[in-house]
Structure 1
Amino acid sequence: MLFTLIVLLSLHLVVEREVRSKAEAKKSEIEAQMWRFLLLLQTWLLIFCLPFSICLASPAPWVMRISCGSRVNVHTPPTNTLWYKDFAYTGGIPTNSTATSYVAPPLKTLRYFPLSEGPNNCYNIKRVPRGHYSVRVFFALVAHQDPDPNFDNEPLFDISVEGTQIYSLQSGWSSHDDQVFTEAQVFLIDGTASVCFHSTGHGDPAILSIEILEVDDRAYYFGPEWGQGVILKTVTRLSCGNGKSKFDVDYSGDRWGGDRFWNKMPTFGQNSDKAISTENSIKKASNAPNFYPEALYQTALVSTDSQPDLTYTMDVDPNKNYSIWLHFAEIDVSITGVGKRVFDILINGDIVFEGVDVAKMSGDRYTSLVLNTTVAVKGRTLAITLHPKEGNHAIINAIEVFEVITAESRTLLEEVRALQALKSALSLPLRFGWNGDPCVPQQHPWSGADCQFDRTSNKWVIDGLGLDNQGLSGFLPNDISGLHHLQSINLSSNNIRGAIPSSIGTITSLEVLDLSYNFFNGSIPDSIGQLASLRRLNLNGNSLSGKVPVPLGGRLLHGASFNFTDNSGLCGIPGLPTCGPHLSAGAKIGIAFGASVAFLVMVICSMCWWKRQQNILRAQQIAARGAPYAKARTQTTHDIQMTRHHNHGYARTAAENGPSLLS
């Protein structure tokens, strides 16, 4: 858009400069007129093309369409709409679907959720830009079911979006085209979208497709209550005087409208009205923020002389608030101007709009007018009545009715993560259905998790865990400390192993801790002794050892109930063996190391002594076997020495007497 603007402005400056230069040069008048014409043409192009370029450059709404159970992307006729494959969003089982109604997209697969996988199952869609969205869910029947649906094979279940229940399927939905889907306007602000299905015990939830369509941030603003804390669930959309139901795409509507479905309403019945239509263009139709399709205003119902009041009546849930949007355009050729048709609008007998003159309030004939009001309905009937005051006839083009639902507060994120870590560490069976939000919708909390609303944070928190005797295995993770609002933990009679995490001692609100009849080992963390609110502690039937923290022993005197039996290694309080001298961990390590060194020295010394003894013994044995030979050898040596001594003496005497003898 910015590039187009720069180019057009540059062209304008170039042409204007050229005109001036030509004029200054006093060229021919014809040439000057030509350049003036080009300047005028360029100016008009700037005026008309700039809005067009802005329109072309405006971002398209974010869209995610999922064909549930499909292993490949799918394009559906007649609009070649893209549906993404169903991959890595949820559990459940993909299978083929029955033929859908003309309202539902022509998809051939679905995903269903057997109760064995838990009562709660969710599609968790990530990387959703922050914004306002129309979320729509289509249902279907599994293909192997009876093609002629009846009460026995129709799955009935509840649907929630972002933790708020928006719809409960009623018996007979599969035989009514306008009941094969539900839709709600909701704000998505945390980068994800959660759509959950809750079993009610009658069949397995089966989902054909999910659509998340971005709409204008101010779409369907109805007053001060509107905002992120409110969800608008679509009850009905009626195209009055039209004999065929259509989507926005069929009307060539703007994509920012969310591709709404408009149910046909050829008559209100009992000869109370007649249908009229026009091919004239309708002004102010597709305007922000709701972007209604122009064709919606080209048909209408008009009351008759025999029954001037125009009344539409529908069944609704009692004690709810409903936002009602009424659409008008004066397309009756018999009404030529302002004041020719005036009527009051009543909801359940109360006037909500008085003296409505469509031509006057819209500004002209063939111009759209939208009126909105929100009413509280105590009974089960919603009646919209148009009562003529001038002209003897009333007119209406379309009706929208939404149930105003207060969005549920979610569970504190830290506690959700702690429960998810606990689910993984304990290998929690699928039947528990720990999916979605633990506490909302309130009709379908997680099994074994007790919830309480915390008014300080305006969030739900977990104040109790009751998972006793459920065949759980695994270990107790340190992440359990994230459940810092817990008052009671009961994990007894399972197969949980490992040490009791010391982090459990940081849950200061804990009053009851029952870990009995598991396979916990190691010592009792000293931190548990610091839990001032703890009044019942059952650790019996485990493999714990070491000294019971002293504060726990003192607490017994104040009425607390503690059970440490069937742990052969525990000591330190009445009823358990007396503990020996208390040594620190460092001292225990030092003693163990010293003992190991001493033992090693003893082993080495013993080996040396044994070796020496073996050498001595061997020498003695050798001496005993060779004694006579050794004696003889000794005597011979002695004789030789004596002989040598004698000869030496003789030689010396001869030498001394030698000269005398020679002479």
Structure 2
Amino acid sequence: MAIGFGRKLIWIFALLLILVMTIQVRAQPPPGFINIDCGLKNVSAYQDPTLKMRYSSDDEFVEGGEKHEVLPEFMASTADDNQNTLRSFPDGSRNCYTLPSTPGKKYLLRAIFTYGNYDRLNKTQDGSLFRFGLYVGVNLWDTVDLSNWRTDDAVIKEVLTVATGSSVSVCLVNLGSGIPFISSLELRPLLDTMYPFVNTSVSVSNFIRLRFGNITDYITRYPTDSYDRFWASYSVQKGDLYQYPYISVDTSDNLENLPGNEFKVPSAILQNAMSIDTNNSSITVILASLANKDAKTLKLLPIFHFTELNGSNPNRRFNIYSAGEGLFPGFSPSRLKVDSLYKSGLFKQKGDAYFILNKTADSSLPPLINALEVYALVVMENLTTDSDDVKYMKDVKEQYNLVRTSWNGDPCSPIEYSWKGLTCDYSKSNQIPRIITVNLSSSGLGGGLAISFMNMTSLENLDLSHNNLTGAIPEYQLKSLKVLNLSNNKLDGPIPDSILQRVQAGLLDLRLEGNPICSNKKDTYCLDKTKKRKATPILLIAVIVPVVLISLLVGMCILWKLLWKEKSTYNEDYAIYEEETPLYIDNRRFTYAELKLITNNFQTIVGKGGFGIVYHGILENGDEVAVKVLMETSIAESTDFLPEETYVV
């Protein structure tokens, strides 16, 4: 009996252990789930009491930002505990969360924003514009618009996307209309076969996801949906907006997906449906006035989920229209078999999102609908930087502990948010950007040279000058590298042969001046090329300026001599006339000044003699005279000038 009782105790203990382990496993999130409570304070993680999932702090997923809590008066009305805290980003134009992922894997990303007047500025209710950008990777996912939004209401954004690398980023972009913030961030892996229209070029944001029928919960999510999709209730309960003539149809039977249906909508979601009174023939679903959605700018894709729940008379056939356009004519749902309908690649611009299900003439039952998803196109037109370049730059950032507000998200893309100090090559529009220049001059770098640089196969110019780098120079065997500026550091190690060979071949411009390694070297790479470039203009100035000055002085001297000679010649021409040379007419003497007056400054020529020019003149008494001026060259030859000098006409 004692042995039997002992065995019972062992069995009881084993069952209890299994139960405890089952509870612990049940408390863990499904594989690949990431739950982030942004701005979580004082604790690193906790278990959500409703979801039974663990939420962690965002400290390891983001840099920068400020932690806050919503005001106490709004905590009671938030939907979940993870909405009570948030992280805001007053600094930097772009701030990004980086979540681990598997390349090529398909994911659902959900970001939730609950303002809760954390800053006590009442920004959602003061009438001003309050909006910021939300990016998935390097492409615009959506805009978060909290203008005139209820203070305690959450804005929920979802996107289905494919990870292109080992991480996926969610970035908040400051648009100048309010400080970006985020309350929680969730990542859910999907099966690769789900949502086949989602690929590396196309992501989709969730416009609405609805389940129909008599539903008590406004939102249905995990664990009902193992992928944690949010299904909002389009209820037909009494007192609700959508009641008569609409009716609810339901079943407890298990449902199966038809072959090829890979949307994995849970049976519990589809076991309820909305139909219409038999006196009516059509169902209209209007989704035009959804909050925080601008339907006029979106290209929408609807996905309809149907299964026949009526067992007695399954003769049901109807046409499906989207905004008046026929999509699926004469559709008949299969009993207890799930069929999902969508037009592959049909993302159409729509001012309104409304759908009509219209009974056909040969149908004995009106239409019904179980669930509906509507997605908006997110074009992934911006290409991410080469993954290796990203990895090596992040290694450099970590090694040197670089804290830069611009160094968030992708280094090169989109171009308007590229990292400061980098130059990227966008010349090939159909290829990923590559980093070709890294300028970390005067950045306070210390320690050894990062090996990561030597692995960046497109790097052409590396400037690490004016830092505190020490030790040897690694073997930078990069054929692409054209300029390596390591000047003004504390490098004392040898220069690798591979670098010297490229320098000697004229393929690499190496700059090492200002390092201990150059203390006993006179090689060109140890010369201060900056001073050399400055010295050349100075030398030119020192030579050219004196030459110009001397040339000016010589020119001025020559000009002065020419002017002086001309003046002297002029004086000589008229010197003989300046003298008080007596000229007689009627026994009267005239000076040169009087002759100038008589001839009106020798204005009128009346003739030319053999020895000079004859000018017309008038005496003070009105008598006209002719005044002959002797030419200088003929004075010596003249023997009869004076008698001929003046005469009365």
> TM-score scaled to structure 1, two decimals?
0.58
Q: Which amino acid aligns with 1:159?
A: L
Distance 1:530 1:299, change over 3 A: farther
Q: Is the 8 A contact 1:254 1:286 kept in 2?
A: no
Deviation at 1:462, TM superposition (A): 0.9
Q: Which amino acid aligns with 2:417?
A: H
Shift of 1:440: 3.8
CA deviation string 1:632-653 (max 9, x = no partner): xxxxxxxxxxxxxxxxxxxxxx
Instruction: Check the 8 A contact 2:436/2:458 in 1, yes or no.
Output: yes
After superposition, the Cα gap between the structure-2 partners of 1:165 and 1:291, relative to the gap in structure 1 and judged at 3 Å, is same
Q: Which residue is 1:326 aligned to?
A: 304
What does 1:249-648 correspond to in 2, within 5 Å?
249=221, 253-255=224-226, 257-262=227-232, 264=234, 274-281=245-252, 283-284=254-255, 289-300=263-274, 302=276, 308=282, 310=284, 312-314=286-288, 322-330=300-308, 336-338=313-315, 340-343=316-319, 345-358=320-333, 362=334, 364=335, 368-373=338-343, 374-378=345-349, 380-390=351-361, 394-405=367-378, 409-424=383-398, 428-432=402-406, 434-440=407-413, 444-452=417-425, 459-465=432-438, 472-474=444-446, 477-488=450-461, 495-498=466-469, 506-510=477-481, 526=500, 529=503, 546-549=521-524, 563-565=529-531
CA-to-aligned-CA distance 1:225-258 (integer Å, 9 cap, x gap): x4465433222112345676633348x6242x42
Q: Do the aligned partners of 1:253 and 1:259 also contact (CA within 8 Å) in 2?
A: no
Distance, in Å, in 2 between the alignment partners of 1:423 and 1:235 is: 38
What is the CA distance between 1:464 and its match in structure 2? 3.2
Aligned to 1:93: 66
Letter of the 1:342 counterpart:
F
Contact 2:317–2:330, Cα closer than 8 Å, also in 1: no
Can you list the C-alpha shifts for 1:500-524, whole angstroms capped at 9, x where unaligned? 98569644445667778x6577799
- Which amino acid in structure 1 is aligned with residue 274 of structure 2? A
Secondary structure at 2:411 match in 1: coil
CA offset at residue 422 of structure 1?
3.6
Residue 360 of structure 2 aligns to a residue whose secondary structure is strand
Q: How far apart are the structure 2 equivalents of 1:218 and 1:506? A: 43
1:175-229 deviation per Cα after TM superposition (whole angstroms, max 9, x unaligned): 399862222234458665544433334444322222223333422234xxx4465
Partner of 1:181: 156
State the 1:313 CA deviation. Answer: 4.9
Q: Which residue of 1 aligns with 2:142?
A: 167
Q: 1:481 to 1:155 in 2, by over 3 A?
A: farther
Amino acid paired to 1:370: S
In the alignment, is residue 232 of structure 1 matched against residue 232 of structure 2? no
Alignment of 1:83-122 (within 5 A): 83-91=55-63, 92-98=65-71, 99=74, 104-107=79-82, 109-116=84-91, 118-122=92-96
Task: Pick the aligned partner of 1:138 from 90, 100, 112.
Answer: 112
The one-letter code sitting in structure 2 at the alignment partner of 1:216 is L
Amino acid at match of 2:38: C
Structure 2 gap segments, 5+ residues each: 1-25, 541-649
Could you say if the C-alpha distance between residues 182 and 488 of structure 1 is closer, same or farther in structure 2, counting changes exceeding 3 Å? same
Change (3 A) 1:347 1:500: farther
The whole-number CA distance in structure 2 between the counterparts of 1:324 and 1:472 is: 54
Inter-partner Cα distance in structure 2 for 1:175 and 1:231: 29
Cα deviation digits, residues 565-588 of structure 1 (max 9, x gap): 1799x9xxx99xxxxxxxxxxxxx
The residue matched to 1:565 in structure 2 has which SS?
helix
Residues 113 and 156 in structure 2, CA contact (< 8 A), matched pair in contact too: yes
Corresponding residue of 2:10? none
Judging changes above 3 Å, is the alpha-carbon distance between structure 1 residues 396 and 501 closer, same or farther for their aligned structure 2 residues? farther
Per the alignment, in what secondary structure is the counterpart of residue 417 of structure 1? helix
SS in 2 for 1:197: strand
Partner of residue 619, structure 2:
none
Judged with a 3 Å threshold, the aligned counterparts in structure 2 of structure 1 residues 367 and 69 are, in CA distance, closer, same or farther, namely: same
CA distance in 2: counterparts of 1:182 and 1:151, whole angstroms = 23
DSSP-derived class of the 1:216 partner: coil
TM-score, length of structure 2 as denominator length: 0.59
Classify 1:484/1:296 alpha carbon distance in 2 versus 1 (closer, same or farther; 3 Å): same
1:206 to 176, 181, 191: 181
Which amino acid in structure 2 is aligned with residue 278 of structure 1?
V
How much is the aligned-residue C-alpha RMSD, in angstroms? Answer: 5.1
| CA separation of 1:308 and 1:230: change in aligned 2, threshold 3 A | closer
Q: CA deviation at 1:127?
A: 8.2
Q: Return the offset for 1:499.
A: 7.0
Identify if the C-alpha distance between structure 1 residues 527 and 371 changes in structure 2 by more than 3 Å, giving closer, same or farther. same
Q: Tell me which of 42, 66, 69 is aligned to 2:39.
A: 69
Structure 1 residue 112 displacement after superposition = 1.6
Contact 1:135/1:183, CA 8 A, preserved across alignment: yes
The superposition leaves residues 417-461 of structure 1 with CA deviations (integer Å, 9 ceiling, x where unpaired) of: 3323443566534333x2333234556332332333587995431
Change in CA separation of 1:337 and 1:300 when aligned onto 2, cut-off 3 Å: same
- CA change 1:302–1:230 in 2 (3 A) is same
Cross-structure match for 1:248: 220
SS in structure 2 of the partner of residue 420 of structure 1: helix
Deviations 1:350-379 (Å, cap 9, x if unpaired)? 432121223xxx1x3x65432122313245
Deviation at 1:321, TM superposition (A): 5.6
Q: Give the conservation status (yes or no) of the 8 Å contact 2:211–2:233.
A: yes
Match of 2:80, SS state, is coil
How many angstroms apart in 1 are the aligned matches of 2:181 and 2:113?
A: 6
Amino acid at match of 1:167: D
Deviation, structure 1 residue 416:
1.9
| 1:305 positional shift | 7.2
One-letter amino acid matched to 1:389: T
1:107 aligns to what SS in structure 2? helix
Letter in 2 for 1:67: D
Q: 1 CA distance for matches of 2:475 and 2:346?
A: 50
Q: Residues 488 and 513 of structure 1 are in contact (CA less than 8 Å); yes or no, is this contact kept in structure 2?
A: yes
Q: 2:256 and 2:33 mapped to 1: Cα distance?
A: 23
Give the aligned residue type for 1:414.
D
Distance 1:440 1:95 in 2: 30
Equivalenced residue count is 485
Contact 1:503 1:527 in 2 (8 A): no
Q: Give the partner amino acid of 1:324.
A: P
In structure 2, the residue corresponding to 1:159 is in which secondary structure? Answer: strand
Shift of 1:537: 8.5
Q: Distance in 2 between matches of 1:101 and 1:230?
A: 39
Q: Cα 1:505–1:312, aligned 2, differ >3 Å: closer, same or farther?
A: same
User: Which residue identity is paired with 1:94?
Assistant: K
Q: 1:96 deviation in Å?
A: 1.6
- Listed one character per residue, the Cα deviations across residues 136-175 of structure 1 (whole Å, up to 9, x for unaligned) are 2222226343467336788643334455542321243853
Contact 2:38–2:87, Cα closer than 8 Å, also in 1? no
Partners of 2:211 and 2:269 within 8 A in 1: no
Contact 1:285 1:368 in 2 (8 A): yes
CA contact (8 A) 1:216 1:290 kept: no
